[in-house]
Chains A and B, each alone.
Chain A
Amino acid sequence: DAGVIQSPRHEVTEMGQEVTLRCKPISGHNSLFWYRQTMMRGLELLIYFNNNVPIDDSGMPEDRFSAKMPNASFSTLKIQPSEPRDSAVYFCASSFQGTFNEKLFFGSGTQLSVL
């Protein structure tokens, strides 16, 4: 298996532009997570899906952020409009949720820079 695949690896954009991050989870995994990592705030959960349904989006910072999972093999995280404080590494992770099986497998991340 290729693991969790994220794209793009790097994104540089200007304030106000729309940014879309993409993720393909590991085949067979039923849960998908979007995390954001910064030096100041560490690794924080933005949203997670179980069986393509959003379960908890309490970590989404504000309405500028939205996430979708139209099917079991694809998810997007969109920021519109983007702001410099959104600059961070965004990780997608997937897992198979069962009893005590909640190990996360992370993608390589997207380094986002908003100028």
Chain B
Amino acid sequence: QKEVEQNSGPLSVPEGAIASLNCTYSDRVSQSFFWYRQYSGKSPELIMSIYSNGDKEDGRFTAQLNKASQYVSLLIRDSQPSDSATYLCAVNIDLRTNAGKSTFGDGTTLTVKP
């Protein structure tokens, strides 16, 4: 079992719709959770972080965390063609030191069609 698993995708939604991206992780001691967006040919960039159970909203983005289910999701409301990218879920698992390393899922490619 991979440490971080995401919907294999690709995911296609019409413009204006809600895009839902899902991620599960295997290590129960995980503390920090992140969503990165990666445009084709570019480097990943952080869009959301979440540390406690529940929802966290930032503009059109909402991250949801359920530690009991070991599940984290990202909702994108009013999807725009500019949201078309690969979304990477990252989990910080290593708590042995103060330097947490992020383990990434394989990513879900989202296409928003005009």
- Name A's B-contacting residues (CB within 8 A): 30-31, 33, 35, 42-45, 48, 50, 55-56, 91, 97-98, 100, 102-109
Contacts and interface: CB of A to CB of B under 8 A. Distances in A.
Interface in B31-65: 31-32, 34, 36, 42-46, 49, 51
Nearest to A30: B99
Contacts of A31: 99
Question: Is the contact region of chain A dominated by helix, strand, or loop, or is it mixed?
Answer: strand
B97 interface: yes
A48 B101 contact: yes
B104 A42 contact: yes
A50 B99 contact: yes
Given A102-B99, A104-B102, A108-B42, 9 more contacts: A43-B104, A98-B98, A102-B102, A103-B34, A103-B46, A104-B46, A104-B90, A106-B44, A106-B45
B102 A42 contact: no
A109 B39 CA distance: 13
B99 A55 contact: yes
A91 B97 contact: no
Contacts of B7: none
Interface string B80-114: 00000000101010100111111111110000000
B88 A56 contact: no
B46 A43 contact: no
27 contacts: A31-B99, A33-B101, A35-B104, A42-B104, A42-B105, A42-B107, A43-B107, A45-B103, A48-B99, A55-B99, A55-B101, A56-B94, A91-B44, A97-B100, A98-B98, A100-B31, A100-B32, A100-B51, A102-B32, A102-B92, A102-B99, A102-B102, A103-B34, A103-B49, A104-B34, A104-B46, A106-B43
Given A42-B104, A106-B45, A50 B97 contact: yes
A102 B92 CA distance: 8
Contacts of A56: 94, 101
